[in-house]
Amino acid sequence: MKDIHIGIIGGGLMGREMASAFARWCALTDVTARPVLTAVADLNPATLAWFDCIPSCVQKTTEYKELLANPLIDVVYVAVPHNLHEKLYLDVLAAGKDLFAEKPFGIDLDSARRIVAETKASGRFVRCSSEMPFFPGAQRAFEIARKGTIGRVLEVVSGFHHSSDLDPTKAANWKRLNATCGEGGVLNDLGMHACHLPVRLGWKPTRLFAQLQKGYAQRPDGKGGQTACDTWDNALLHTWTTVAGDAVPLRLEMKRLAPGATNTWFIEILGTQGGVRYSTAEPKTLWLFERDKEQWWKRTELGFGTPFKTVTGGIFEPGFPDVIQQMWAAYLMEREGLLDGRFGCATPEEALATHEIFAAALESQRAGTVVTL
């Protein structure tokens, strides 16, 4: 097993999620690289203190440049507000480290373009976090779509919903402000999740009409006052894409105000000969459409059929921490040149493609018209 020394910049929600995935790496049985969390940088000393529970994490600093100067570190994972992506990603590359970036990979399209250009110039191994396609049901949907066995594709819906923002007493954070989340708002926040599989399948929108919606204009600021919230909270993108030469409706849905949903990623692909439907709301359940003289929606209880094998029994159901770990296995094994046909993480070019979609959506919303990409 080869140890890969990881530094995390931004030890908040996602920084800690990644650290916990590394901590139970023994669950994986067919990988030859192991992440060793060696350093963490965060502005907040209380956040750094959480990392005391990880013995290998010997460097804890409020200055991320100290982490970048650590010669032991091979790969840096960066999970900070979107307005800091470009600066920190470019600093990681300039320090000669490989990068595991977070979505949306820059605050807007121009920023993503600069990051992609610098990634190419640096020659470093760079991927962008997007874990939901690593669910076994998502993998099955992807394989079915890729093999083209469902006849002429009629319609595709891909989305990500949650609902915590329905609560007006929830305090605002940087994700509710254009200055820190980006003008895209929910597009930046959830868009990669909705776009990843369609983009990977080559199903990029060719024309697009966006309906963007805002939620509460004000929220508690967490300090006893109120603060303005100016981001888009829900986005419905009605698009046309091309599948095997045919124009196909593709709807991309991203919602922070979806009644009843917690962290629900879903995809539905319907064709003339078959179809597939999967949602993390029912993580074990794959629906397959078949047609003969009669028609059927067949329900399969999936087990733990993740791309990378684990000690977890095949009948057990996977969850968010599992797919985070699978995504890291894909990152590290691809970096070693050992992906062997398994599903790889989102590439910088794919992240750029999502920003092209978001920019078109903002233009469509502004002009109230269909935008050609």
Binding site residues, ligand NAD, CB under 6 A: 9-15, 41-44, 47, 64, 79-82, 84, 102-103, 129, 131, 189
d(CA 186, CA 133): 19
> In this complex, which beta carbon is closest to ligand NAD, that of residue 40 or of residue 250?
40
Q: Taking the alpha carbons of 159, 164, 167, 171 in that order, is the dihedral positive or negative?
A: negative
d(CA 187, CA 349): 17
> In this complex, which beta carbon is closest to ligand NAD, that of residue 127 or of residue 335?
127
d(CA 373, CA 371): 6
Return the axis-axis angle of helices 348-367 and 186-200, rounded to nearest 10°.
120
DSSP alpha helices (H): ranges in 252-347? Answer: 320-335
> In this complex, which beta carbon is closest to ligand NAD, that of residue 151 or of residue 321?
321
Question: Going by DSSP bridges, is the β-strand pair 274-279/98-101 parallel, antiparallel, or unpaired?
Answer: unpaired
> In this complex, which beta carbon is closest to ligand NAD, that of residue 50 or of residue 142?
50
In whole angstroms, the minimum distance from the beta carbon of 219 to ligand NAD comes to 15
> In this complex, which beta carbon is closest to ligand NAD, that of residue 15 or of residue 271?
15
In whole angstroms, the minimum distance from the beta carbon of 106 to ligand NAD comes to 10
> In this complex, which beta carbon is closest to ligand NAD, that of residue 132 or of residue 201?
132
In whole angstroms, the minimum distance from the beta carbon of 11 to ligand NAD comes to 5
In whole angstroms, the minimum distance from the beta carbon of 80 to ligand NAD comes to 4
Alpha-carbon Rg of the chain, whole angstroms?
A: 21
In whole angstroms, the minimum distance from the beta carbon of 293 to ligand NAD comes to 43
**Structural element, H or E, at residue 289:** strand 285-291
The residue number with the shortest CB distance to ligand NAD is 12
In whole angstroms, the minimum distance from the beta carbon of 102 to ligand NAD comes to 4
In whole angstroms, the minimum distance from the beta carbon of 44 to ligand NAD comes to 4
Please, what's the b/e burial string for 256-276 (b: 16 or more CB within 10 A of its CB; e: otherwise)?
Answer: bbbeebeebbbbbbbbeebbb
Sheet containing strand 126-128, edge to edge, reads: 59-61, 33-41, 2-9, 75-78, 98-101, 126-128
> In this complex, which beta carbon is closest to ligand NAD, that of residue 11 or of residue 185?
11
DSSP alpha helices (H): ranges in 149-224? Answer: 178-181, 186-200
CB contact at 8 A, 10 and 316: no
> In this complex, which beta carbon is closest to ligand NAD, that of residue 76 or of residue 144?
76
**Structural element, H or E, at residue 36:** strand 33-41
In whole angstroms, the minimum distance from the beta carbon of 351 to ligand NAD comes to 11
State the number of CA atoms in the 13 A half-sphere of 80 facing the CB. Answer: 20
> In this complex, which beta carbon is closest to ligand NAD, that of residue 12 or of residue 136?
12
In whole angstroms, the minimum distance from the beta carbon of 12 to ligand NAD comes to 2
d(CA 220, CA 229): 10
